[in-house]
Amino acid sequence: MKRVAIIGGGASGFAAAITIARKSKDFTVTIYEKLQKPLKKLLATGNGRCNLTNIELSPADYFGDRAFAATALARFSPQENIAFFREMGLLCKTEAMGRVYPLSGQASAVREILCAEAQKCGVQICTDCAITNIQTQNGGFLLNGEIPADIVLICAGGSAAPKHGTDGGAYRLLDALGHTIIPPAPALTALECADFPKSLKGVRQVCDVTLLKNGKTVYAITGEVQFTEYGLSGIPIMQLSRFVATEPNEKFSVKLNCLSGMTAPDVAAFLQTTVTENPQKTAETLAQGILPQALGNALLLRCGIRKDEPCASLTKHRLARFSEESTAFTVYVTGVRDFDFAQVTAGGADCREFDDETMQSKRIKNLYACGEALNVDGGCGGYNLQWAWSSGRAAGESIVKEFSSDTHS
Ligand SMILES: Cc1cc2nc3c(=O)[nH]c(=O)nc-3n(C[C@H](O)[C@H](O)[C@H](O)COP(=O)(O)OP(=O)(O)OC[C@H]3O[C@@H](n4cnc5c(N)ncnc54)[C@H](O)[C@@H]3O)c2cc1C
């Protein structure tokens, strides 16, 4: 019997463990999880609903080593993943933009199904057990100086959301084993901005968002922006945070068209008509016709327009300036919110040192790494969990193929 040690009881660890234990009886499979319970992070995913994959997924939704990720993602696709959960008794539903959730709408269902399946297949789960040291010996491994293993999978995640058990432990283990670690940076997190109007806290507005690096467009996306006391958040902002985080020495700014899809001349024409017909209105009331009150007032202030000014005093030039500001509100980015607030890690173990079909290390035989521990990160929308399932599955299948004498489907 080969002893398989899986470090980390998260998404990729469970995918690998179930794949191995289901397909062959030639292994003892043990998950070592540092927290009291496995899959704690899964409960927080998708705002407690677990966006477990995305049926519109393509390699373009990934960053880091996208080409490396493409192989495992193609071999265990979102559709196969949905079928895998179905076999275990979990039905899923697809929502806007291809996002897939459990039909129950509860992340806890995904966790329970995975735990039940692991138990059914005979996977041992050893909790409260952080692995902090891995030594190689006689073609095998010794964990924490006392646990022998023939095959080791590092599925211990990244550095994002340390309260869910992921504090970069995977990188420390892989680094000590001689692997290169591409500097980890927080991704899918909020942006901190300079001189940000505090009055905007709590405002939500659908905007066309453009990230600029040294004045040049890096990324553009439309979605609901959340304004906070420190800067910007919401899905479109989180999507672009990895670019800022991975190039901390560059100067970034974000341009917001707060009137998504409209141009400054469109807005100016509309405002001019309103002003002509309602000269007694205040600037604040005029702005309220197109924007949330706090946002309108902040933009008026930036244009030097007092909110109690009568519309009659707003010249064509001043209206044009306000229209410009509303469609191209530009803020300077000072940084990203740290790992405590991030959903995923950009960076990690250099994929070039691993086999893209098997997730096996090219440096140390019988060592594997999966999920966020590797230099692959996806956008918001189920992409990161799919990477965890696909890479865990790839490692599991390859282990069964390489070491098993007797395989069961
Ligand atoms: C709030 C939040 C919401 C998210 N929502 C989504 C979403 O809806 N859809 C999506 O696709 N992605 C989402 N993600 C990202 C996704 O959860 C992760 O990318 C994914 O879980 C990574 O899988 P993994 O197996 O690599 O690691 P993880 O699932 O992070 O699991 C790693 C496990 O290893 C354990 N561990 C760490 N170090 C050690 C050690 N030394 N010894 C033993 N155990 C160790 C940890 O405790 C943890 O249980 C979200 C993340 C967060 C934080």
Residues 200 and 310 in one domain: yes
Share of the chain above pLDDT 70, in %: 99
**Ligand 1 centre distance from Cα of residue 283 (Å):** 48
Residue 404's pLDDT is 83
Q: Domain boundary residue among 337, 359, 381? A: 337
Residues 329 and 366 in one domain: no
**Ligand 1 centre distance from Cα of residue 248 (Å):** 24
Residues 15 and 154 in one domain: yes
The pLDDT of 229-242, averaged and rounded, is: 96
Q: Whose CA is nearest to atom 42 of ligand 1?
A: 130
Residues 324 and 396 in one domain: no
The pLDDT of 337-359, averaged and rounded, is: 98
CA distance 138 to 122: 27
**Ligand 1 centre distance from Cα of residue 408 (Å):** 29
**408 lies in a domain?**
no
Q: Domain boundary residue among 299, 320, 337? A: 337
Residues 379 and 312 in one domain: no
Ligand 1 atom nearest the C-alpha of 51 is 8
Q: Whose CA is nearest to atom 10 of ligand 1?
A: 382
Residues 322 and 350 in one domain: no
Ligand 1 atom nearest the C-alpha of 15 is 25
CA distance 97 to 337: 26
Per-residue pLDDT for 264 more than 60? yes
Per-residue pLDDT for 24 more than 90? no
Residues 37 and 151 in one domain: yes
The count of domains in the chain is 2
Residue 407's pLDDT is 47
How sure is the predictor about 226, in pLDDT bands with cuts at 50, 70 and 90?
very high
**311 lies in a domain?**
yes
Report yes or no: 132 and 169 within 8 Å, Cβ to Cβ: yes
The pLDDT of 157-167, averaged and rounded, is: 98
The angle formed by the CA atoms of residues 348, 10 and 134, to the nearest 5 degrees, is 60
Q: How far is CA 273 from CA 306, 319, 325, in A?
A: 20, 11, 19
Entry pTM: 0.95
How sure is the predictor about 409, in pLDDT bands with cuts at 50, 70 and 90?
very low
Residues 108 and 242 in one domain: no
Cα distance between the two ends of the chain: 19
Residues 303 and 360 in one domain: no
Enumerate residues lining ligand 1, CB below 6 A.
Answer: 7-13, 32-35, 40-41, 44-46, 50-51, 130-132, 155-157, 160-161, 164-166, 169, 343-344, 371-373, 382-385, 388
Ligand 1: which of 41, 56, 95, 375 to mutate, most ligand atoms within 8 Å of CB? 41
pLDDT per residue as tens digits for the range 287-320: 999 999 999 999 999 999 999 999 999 999 999 9
Ligand 1: which of 35, 40, 45 to mutate, most ligand atoms within 8 Å of CB? 45
Burial class (CB in 10 A: 0-12, 13-18, 19+), 125: buried
Residues 90 and 177 in one domain: yes
Q: What is the mean pLDDT of the chain?
A: 96
Kindly report the backbone phi and psi dihedral angles of residue 197, in degrees, each rounded to the nearest multiple of 5, phi listed first.
Answer: -65, 115
Residue 406's pLDDT is 54
**Ligand 1 centre distance from Cα of residue 11 (Å):** 7
Q: Domain boundary residue among 337, 362, 385? A: 337
Residue 196's pLDDT is 86
Strands 140-143 and 147-149: antiparallel
Residues 116 and 176 in one domain: yes
Ligand 1: which of 30, 53, 106, 385 to mutate, most ligand atoms within 8 Å of CB? 385
Per-residue pLDDT for 341 more than 70? yes
Residues 102 and 170 in one domain: yes
**255 lies in a domain?**
yes
pLDDT per residue as tens digits for the range 100-147: 999 999 999 999 999 999 999 999 999 999 999 999 998 899 999 999
pLDDT per residue as tens digits for the range 69-109: 999 999 999 999 999 999 999 999 999 999 999 999 999 99
Per-residue pLDDT for 153 more than 70? yes
Ligand 1 atom nearest the C-alpha of 39 is 49
**143 lies in a domain?**
yes
| Helix ranges, 258-356 (H) | 264-277, 283-288, 293-302, 316-327
**Ligand 1 centre distance from Cα of residue 160 (Å):** 8
pLDDT per residue as tens digits for the range 361-406: 999 999 999 999 999 999 999 999 999 999 999 999 999 999 987 5
**155 lies in a domain?**
yes
Q: Domain of 153?
A: 2-186+344-403
